[in-house]
Amino acid sequence: MKKFRKFISSPKVTLAVFGAAAVLLLFSSVGGARAALTYYSENHMTELETQTIDVTLIEQTGENEAVSNPEALLENLIPDGEKIKVGVKYAEKLSVQNTGEIDQYVRVTIYKYWVDGENKKQDVYPGYIDLNLLLENGWEEDTAASTQERTVIYYKKPLGSGESVDFADSLRIDPAVAEIVTKESDGVSYDYQGLEFRIKVDVDAVQTHNAADAILSSWGREVDNSGADEDGVLSSLNFK
């Protein structure tokens, strides 16, 4: 036993053990570096491909060509030099086209209001601006997000790349505007006399992959899409 202890405490043996430890550490370092380099190389060679989401508002008035300029909405509604006639239904076909590369769910937000010059009138009724919506085409209104001035609708079917769907087909001003008056000391004044109406339409879309999460993230609305059929058509959006 004493000889063994003496052997272990020998400077030569201590040096040999230290050398063995250094060799093991060296091998461990080389192996770790090699593993890290392989992992990095695999990630470096991975390619990521993304596809675009894009949707366009299309307008067609009467026999005019379809245009996709939201800033020029209603410019061709009536012939030059004429004024819009109360109670007359004008052709105003509005649709949404998927101009992206993947299927997507589409939302349309419609704003209707009256202006006096450049000032929005808050004390008159936007509902007299009657844009006929084609909800039977597969659209559903989010009544919780809609107001008298704003209407929000969603298309329940995924819109494929290049596909389009109509959401409105005509516009008229309700004849009721000609009968609404305010009594004054010297007679009556017509509340809508001299006013102009405005319509603004915004369209946007989200991917169909993980649709519920995408809608919540992009639009801030919780929806239940568990009732979607094999083609992705939602039986109901069930807004929460």
Look at residue 26 and tell me whether its pLDDT is greater than 70.
no
Question: How far is residue 122 from each of residues 67, 117, 119, 188, measured CA to CA in Å?
Answer: 31, 13, 9, 20
pTM of the model: 0.72
Look at residue 22 and tell me whether its pLDDT is greater than 70.
no
Residue 140 identity = E
Mean pLDDT of 67-77: 72
Mean pLDDT over the full length of the chain:
76
Question: How far is residue 201 from each of residues 69, 72, 141, 204, measured CA to CA in Å?
Answer: 11, 11, 15, 10
